[in-house]
Copies of this chain bind each other. A is one copy, B any other.
């Protein structure tokens, strides 16, 4: 089992170290190889996703990813910016299915902006299509407008698009995931305005015929953004496109108040996957040893489950994380009165010990 370890920038290196520590004590036969990615790779090799890193990722069964990005790269041309690495990995590995659980841990209910009764017990799964939509659609660029409100003016444009098989495969992923959960899928679209999402809605409805045991609900994206705030627990599995999924999955994770706890997985059709925390590279706290490594450790658990076929080991990690929370250990982002504040490495050590 080959794992490519790509820590990236900011807190990425610190949190990935802890996840690697945890993986190492499991006594499974992994081959773990590290490579630079994002700003770190740009500094060393002049590109955020060097050929050697991409190659390592392609040959691996799974990728453990930290985070990329730092304000200091803001002035670089877009193709050289850190986030191009993550877009490039998604594209070149065909990682079309992004799983973003939004779970509210019992002990962390207080960290949420929402009233406890609205958030306690939250367990929703956002499935975001990750290789299509306006993220990759061509043509895009700048040009002189030939029509619209100001013909002759300079304009910029992008293309939103989805093909039937792209929608079908992510719909199957969503219905299958729902079967293992509460058998309810909410497909989020903007069919009242966009051709792309009228088509999305039609195709999801077609695919649903193969899953009569799963309930399907259609919801407009603006309404979904509202219902997530109003009654998040009404959702089970949410499936949507790349752009809407970007917005809604971040909104949903922030609802829990503990985004530092939330893992994610991005899979291709061969079961290869990239696993990363839902949060970013947080350059403001990088190097201080205070970042929460649990989202990355839980991402490693997802990796064991989805790409490495090690369900038992995945559960062991998840149980260990529950245990350290029960012990009252908290990194600063989830700390509250009455609990014990610990740093990144201490938290990782505690998980290792709980294993």
Contact = CB atoms under 8 A, between A and B. Distances in A.
Interface in A123-148: 131-132, 134-138, 140-142, 145, 147-148
A125 to B, nearest CB: 18
Interface stretch (A19-27, A221-229, A306-314): A221-229
Given A114-B115, A250-B225, A195 B158 contact: yes
Nearest to A192: B83
Interface in A215-235: 221-223, 225-230
A251 B230 contact: no
A4 to B, nearest CB: 23
A149 B134 contact: no
A246 interface: yes
A135 B83 CA distance: 27
A349 B131 CA distance: 55
Nearest to A221: B247
Contacts of A253: 226
Interface in A249-281: 249-251, 253-255, 257, 259
Contacts of A335: none
Nearest to A200: B156
B222 A246 contact: yes
Residue among A154, A163, A198, A257 having the largest count of chain B Cβ atoms under 10 Å? A163
A176 interface: no
A247 B222 contact: yes
A162 interface: yes
A192 B150 CA distance: 25
Contacts of A193: 83, 87, 134-135
Contacts of A149: 94, 131-132, 163, 165-166
Given A141-B195, A192-B83, A247 B230 contact: no
A114 B117 CA distance: 11
A194 interface: yes
A248 interface: yes
Given A81-B192, A246-B221, A157 B161 contact: yes
Given A94-B149, A113-B115, A114-B229, 11 more contacts: A135-B193, A149-B165, A150-B164, A153-B166, A156-B195, A157-B159, A157-B195, A157-B196, A158-B196, A190-B243, A228-B251
The 7 closest A-B pairs by CB, nearest first: A156-B199, A155-B163, A226-B254, A157-B161, A225-B251, A153-B163, A222-B250
Interface of A: 78, 81, 83, 87, 94, 113-115, 118, 131-132, 134-138, 140-142, 145, 147-150, 153-166, 190, 192-196, 198-200, 221-223, 225-230, 243-244, 246-251, 253-255, 257, 259
5 contacts: A83-B193, A134-B194, A138-B147, A155-B163, A157-B159
